[in-house]
Amino acid sequence: MYEGKRVLVTGGAGFLGSNLVKKLAAEAKHVWVLDDLFTGQRSAVPQRHNVTFVHGSVTDGTLLRKLLSQVEYVFHFAARNITLSVEQPEADFRTNVEGTVQLMLQAVAYKDQIERVVYASTSSIYGNSRLLPTVEGGYDIGLPYAASKMSAELLSIAYGKTFGLPVTCLRFSNVYGPGQVSSNPYCGVVAKFAEAILQGEPMVVYGDGTQTRDFTFVDDAIHAVLLTAFQPGTAGEVFNVGTGVETSINTLAKLVAAGAGKPTYSIRHAPKRPVDTVDRRCISSEKLQLVTRWSPQVSVQKGLEKTWQWLQGQV
């Protein structure tokens, strides 16, 4: 789909962004990766002749304008994460909101050249939704991270409609898989559980572990990104990207342990964290499936097996 295309991926040294870069690099003419390496890793960016890494911030308008002048597709994944948003709410706002506005402002100048801008949003905006699986529409903002991501999402769609920029927003739900390294202190729970097993320490579950999440395998998430960016019917729209399946954290811990061949591995419960505000999460991707025919292909069990195999290869 992207043969001969020139692409910019912000946050391309992060988990989701770097997986996207690897897929794009196999067919795109050139991929520019913009990342400030606050949590991203330079080593995650593939070393290829058609991949250029740029160490910089999405808040740098001059740098963005230079990069945007060269591309047809923009994938905006740069963001501060949920934990940092509580620890550093001002920095969260600058990166997630101001950075997104700066990107959209600069992209407008090249709207006749840019075929699509995809903004990576989050299912965190739904909070404790009463409707499960949750469909696109309402929101329940309870954390700075959710507020900044929702603000950036609304601004992205508004800039698109006002200035004729083709923007699509994707709300991802708990993406995990190969490439999610435990060396990042803010990585997801799957990587944390796997790290604990590799180090011979108990897996730490915050709270009672009955809270649920909709875990989405990274390959499925990236496939959704590539499909929506390419199809004209997705411009100006917001889509959920998830499986529609609830998995409790206690169950996840057992599945990770089983995948590691240690089904009775120990679990230690710790007090809930300030970011642990959602009791249940399960989102509907029916809209995405209807428009693009995308559907999740990897179950949690299979995805955890793939993740564990990858992690063992990194040791």
Active site residue 145: yes
Residue 315's nearest CA partner among 203, 180, 199 is 199
DSSP at 127: -
Cα–Cα distance for residue pair 297/220, rounded to 1 Å: 7
300 CB-near residues (< 8 Å, 6+ apart): 215, 217, 243, 245, 247, 252, 255
Helix (H, G, I), strand (E, B) or coil at 263: coil
Q: Check 73, 126, 145, 176 and give the catalytic one.
A: 145
Buried b (16+ CB within 10 A) or exposed e, 168-194: bbbbbbbbbbbbbebebeebbbbbbbb
Burial of 226 (0-12, 13-18, 19+ CB in 10 A): buried
Contact 189, 252 (CB under 8 A): yes
Catalytic residue annotation: 145
